[in-house]
Structures are given as structure tokens and as C-alpha cells.
Amino acid sequence: MGYTPAELLSKVTLGRESLFRVAPLGVNGAMPAAAAYKELCLASEVTVGFENQTISFANFCSGGTNIDIPFGETGTVDLSEMQWIADDEALVIMETAARDKEAIAYEFMPEGAGAGKVVYRGVMNVNSWKVKAAAAGLVTVENPTLTSPGKPEKATQV
């Protein structure tokens, strides 16, 4: 079963509508209120997801066959390069998180903001922060190295 061209056009989501926001975590690691989030202006792309983890083993009872046991997930967050602006609130949150080695919250809205649209929420660590200047170009923040425990929550916006 496929889609007609009209059905397909009504179902696809354009990446330019997407939003990615960050916020400091609340007291005792609580997720922040909606007003605390600041939009990150990415240059080209964002990836949010997770990978399932397994422990693999073989023994005599399994006849030497590998057996995989699921034991959790690792979140993945990858951000593109960003234009550096000294007083940009989202960049300040990111850099502060990297300097202080503290986790921050994120929200990714692939369809943009709006009631009933999908939102992925999670926590991430900013493990690298590099500001780069080119003689004939913009000052940018290189793709930061990020880690995210567990998988992101998937919900709908209210």
C-alpha cells in the first residue's frame, strides 16, 4: 500500500519547521518549566533518538550460541554547527553546561511548535565546546559532543 502524491504531500514534514530548545534542569534534576527553554538556532540539522543496548554471551547451555539480553537504552543527540552570538541565551546555557559539567534538558519538535504536535524531551550532557573563527567567515560553534542517558520521552505538545 502506497500513498498518492497528494496524500504524501499532506503527510511529510519539512525540516525547516523543526525546533530544538534547551534549558537548565530544575532543583534536584527536575525537568524545567516551558518558559525556561530557549531555542537553539542550528545551522543545518539535528538528530535525536536512542540505541538499544544488549549484553551478549555464550555458554555450554546455549551450545556456544550467542544470546543477547536487552538491558537499556543510550540516547543520541547530534547537533550541527551553530552561529556564535555572545549573548544568545541558548548558547549560554550550552556553554555553561559544558563548563560546569552539568546536564541540561532539551526538547525537539520535528513538526514545529503547536498543540497536538510531537515533542521529544530528554536530558543531555555537553561534553565539548569549541568556538571557531575563520578570516573570511562567521564565528561558529563547532558540532558539540553530546551524550544522553536513556531514551527521549515522546509526547504531544499541549
pLDDT of residue 13: 87
Asked if residue 5 has pLDDT above 70, the reply is yes
- Please report the domains of the chain, with CATH numbers, ordered by start residue: 16-157 (4.10.410)
Q: What is the pLDDT of residue 71?
A: 86
Q: Are residues 105 and 133 in contact, defined by beta-carbon separation less than 8 angstroms?
A: no
pLDDT digits (tens, 9 = 90+) for 103-114: 999 999 999 999
Q: Is 73 exposed, middle or buried (0-12, 13-18, 19+ CB in 10 A)?
A: middle
pLDDT digits (tens, 9 = 90+) for 133-150: 999 999 999 999 999 998
The answer to pTM > 0.85 is yes
Query: How many Å apart are CA 98 and CA 92, to the nearest integer?
Result: 10
Looking at residue 43, its pLDDT comes to: 85
